[in-house]
Amino acid sequence: MKRKTIIAILEDSLPKERVKVAREEAQEKILKIQLADLRRQMNINQNDVKGFSQVGVCSLEHRKDLKISTLVKYLHAIGMKVEIKVFPAKKSPAIPREIILLRV
């Protein structure tokens, strides 16, 4: 028998909508951490991101809503390439497993 994790136990005790909102909030926070962490791993400080001011980088790394074009520009400026993949939420024989929408 598989044992439940503490997170699963806690999620079971909350309304499903609250769990959904909490997961979305967590994903936003993870994105912010990952953006700053990627920049640091590339040994680039906020003042050295080409095309962005230090304030702009700080704002971008803490923004709640981010345009894809801005994200791509930022990632290119820190030396990263970008690939956006999509896939169906439910299995569908008509749609491939995943589709690459953007590769730059």
Give me the residue spans of the domains in the chain: 6-103
pLDDT computed for residue 44 by the predictor: 97
Nearest to 39 by CA among 61, 70, 68, 69: 61
Average pLDDT value over all residues in the chain: 89
Strand ranges (E), the chain: 83-86, 99-103
Q: For residue range 39-71, what is the model confidence (pLDDT) as tens digits?
A: 999 999 999 999 999 999 999 998 878 899 999
pTM of the model: 0.72
